Amino acid sequence: MAKLQPGPKLQPVRGTHDIMGDKIRTFRFIQETFQDIAKRFGHAEIRTPIFEFTEVFKRTLGETSDVVAKEMYTFEDRGGESLTLRPEYTAGIARAFISNGLQQSLPCKFFGYGPMFRYERPQKGRMRQFHQLDVEILGAAEPQADIEVLALAVTLLTELNLMADVTLEINSLGDQDSRQAYRDALVTYFSAHKDKLSEDSLARLEKNPMRILDSKDDGDRLLVENAPRISDYYNAATKAFFQEVLMGLDRLGIQYTLNERLVRGLDYYSHTAFEFITTALGAQGTVLAGGRYDALIGMMGGPETAGIGWAAGMERLAELVSPDLVPAENRPIAVVPVGSECQTEALGVAQQLRASGYSVDMSYRGNMGKRMKRANKANAAAAVLIGEDELKRGVVTVKNFADGGQTEVALDQLMDHLTYYR
């Protein structure tokens, strides 16, 4: 059988990356910090499949959205089913809520993290396989849920020492009546300027006019400047809900900026929408974003159930987190047999140490000098040298790599002696 030759075919697919070394330590630190905080807020972990029936995402993200139209990784399996790698978390969690009949357990508070997939132009902090943290509360229509998920986000960013680098922007999309009135106003306004709209925005005009407000096209952006503002279409219920959210944030000392151009184009969104943005990565970018989606689960065929949540990109968080904040890996203990005749005894010592909770590095070959070089390369805190003469006396030698000192230790006291290196 011919050997594969190194070359382009053995490189990672464009827009994907291998996570190892310092990067995996940063990812793990972010995940563990997030998991701890989410549990403190009463959320339970959920893990949904990384692919779903394509209809799950077409229904929730909208046929006209860029994600569905241009970015989804969709394929037909051998059974002829259309499946899609998940481009975001919320749709899968909503599907899991319906599939598992969880409406009897409201409110449901979930958190999760894992890979997502979108076919888009790779750039800094944005990959084709990327990773997200996700928080959802299902079955709580009260503004207190909005305040709580925002407090969770702030707690996470604070413990990652990032709050100085981000700004919370917030807006209300209104209830369904307010939103419909605003949608009608946008259709009237942009219809009068059809000749100036981009091709994408023309397609959005009838089905998804609020998405025109997110357009990156320069001509569209000029039109957006003079477009109607959503706050002019708030009814009394919308104003009261949003005011309660803002009062809650004020009570918790959470600073925010009102941004009336911050919208969500899909009809199942309502009331609170928010983003934590940063300029620390160059161009302004979103680090964490979310909002309320009270009509989503009903639209998917489940019982009418309120929902709110957010997602954060781990790649972007990892770019922002200071390496000084990430805990160093525990340094291992190196077990070094002095001579091949001590190999079996060294294996036994290594296994005892591992069973006691120590990280142990042990070379498989080479003389003592080469094995000690390996121990240095592994950043070992100490080495346990096991020689034939020492074994006859029931002792080993422990070398401290910090000061170079060596101490002879009885085998039956080794565990106690090594507690210094934990």
Cα distances (angstroms) measured from residue 17 to each of 125, 126, 211, 222, 345: 11, 11, 31, 37, 41
Say whether 333-421 and 11-175+235-324 share the same fold: no
In angstroms, the CA 28 to CA 239 distance is 41
Listed residue (303, 178, 287, 172) closest to 233, CA to CA = 178
Residues 36-79 pLDDT 10s: 999 999 999 999 999 999 999 887 776 656 666 678 899 999 99
How big is the CA angle at 218 (ends 214 and 223), to the nearest 5 degrees? 70
Per-residue burial over 201-226, b = 16 or more CB atoms within 10 Å of its CB, e = otherwise: beebbeebbbbbbbbebeebeebbee
- Written as six digits, the tokens of 85 are 């790698």
Domain ranges of the chain: 11-175+235-324, 333-421
- Cα 73 from chain centroid (whole Å): 19
DSSP state of 71: I
Enclosing H/E stretch for 300: none
DSSP state of 299: H
Enclosing H/E stretch for 70: none
The CB density around residue 81, as the number of other CB atoms within 10 Å, is 10
Topology classification of domain 333-421: Rossmann fold (3.40.50)
Q: Kindly give the confidence (pLDDT) of every residue in the chain, 422 residues in length, as a single tens digit, with 9 standing for 90 and above.
A: 556 565 557 888 888 989 998 999 999 999 999 999 999 999 999 999 999 999 998 877 766 566 666 788 999 999 999 999 999 999 999 999 999 999 999 999 999 999 999 987 777 657 899 999 999 999 999 999 999 999 999 999 999 999 999 999 999 999 989 988 998 999 999 999 998 999 888 888 877 888 888 888 889 989 999 999 999 999 999 999 999 999 999 999 999 999 988 888 677 889 999 999 998 887 668 999 999 999 999 999 999 999 999 999 999 999 999 999 999 888 999 999 998 888 899 999 999 999 999 999 988 888 888 888 898 888 999 999 999 988 899 999 999 998 989 999 999 999 999 998 87
Torsion angle of the four alpha carbons 138, 141, 143, 149, in this order, in degrees rounded to the nearest 10: 0
Record the pTM: 0.88
- Written as six digits, the tokens of 21 are 């070394």
- Written as six digits, the tokens of 152 are 């969770």
DSSP state of 119: -
In angstroms, the CA 163 to CA 280 distance is 11
Do 259 and 172 contact (CB within 8 A), yes or no? Answer: no
Residues 100-133 pLDDT 10s: 999 999 999 999 999 999 987 777 657 899 999 9
What is the DSSP track for 169-195? Answer: EEEE---HHHHHHHHHHHHHHHHTTGG
Task: Return the CATH number of 11-175+235-324, one of 3.40.80.10, 3.30.70.580, 1.10.10.10, 3.30.930.10.
Answer: 3.30.930.10
